[in-house]
Amino acid sequence: MGRAWPLILLLLAAACAPLNEPTGRLLRESMGIDVKPAQVGETPPQVSYSAEVLLSRAEGYYRERRFSDAADAYARFMELHAAHPWAPYALYQEGMSYLHQIRSDDRDPTFAQKARQAFENLISNYPDSNPVSYAREELTKTLDHLAAHELAIARFYLRTDRDQAALARLEDLRKSFPDTASARSALFDLGQARERTGDAAGAADAYRAYLEDPDSPARKLQARQALARLKGA
């Protein structure tokens, strides 16, 4: 155990260290944002409507990994200064603040949904701004996360014989997140759900689509067996 303490202390120090992400630094430099992160304490800050003060405060929270406070502070900046040249950066950082609050075992999609909204708003409302390319990358990851969450729920429904609920979830997943890996994987599950609910033709279509996708995971043998079963029924 004694040998493990240096590693544990190193990990704890890394978790508590101020956050200074390369992307944020590059964006600030490219957008001419010369605002230093404020020193944030536990007491409520004084009320200010200044763009510089608000962004400085948000950056201070973000740097200290207080991501809930950071998200609120960036949102406050956007509420008051949506037309400001720094607004695209603040909106990008708001989205990142939500992403940092997602845990690997988190079953609640709220933070991912909020991040999605922030990145989509940035891409839609500030299409020519510097952060857009980064926002697209983060949006892709966010959509993958949300799609995986939906697929996990659908598979739970299938395991617990709630086939109609699974079918509805899978159909919605395919419509809402069409370009994700989970949507492709869901084709096999969709075939199962349709087969169980009496839609043999729809099940066969789903299994065939699953087999035609070169990126599909390794359940192709089961899909072929399912097609053979449906053909012989």
**Contact (Cβ atoms closer than 8 angstroms) between residue 69 and residue 82:** no
Given a cut of 80, is residue 1 above it in pLDDT?
no
Lowest mean pLDDT among 13-17, 34-38, 99-103: 13-17
The pLDDT score that the predictor gives to residue 13 is 40
pTM over 0.75: yes
Domains of the chain: 21-130 (1.25.40.10), 163-232 (1.25.40.10)
Average pLDDT over every residue of 59-70 = 95
Largest CA distance in the chain: 74
Given a cut of 90, is residue 88 above it in pLDDT?
yes
Residue % of the chain over a pLDDT of 90: 77
Per-residue pLDDT of 173-199, as tens digits, reads 999 999 999 999 999 999 999 999 999
Average pLDDT over every residue of 121-150 = 96
Rounded Cα gap, residues 179 and 99, in angstroms: 20
Task: State which amino acid sits at residue 54.
Answer: L
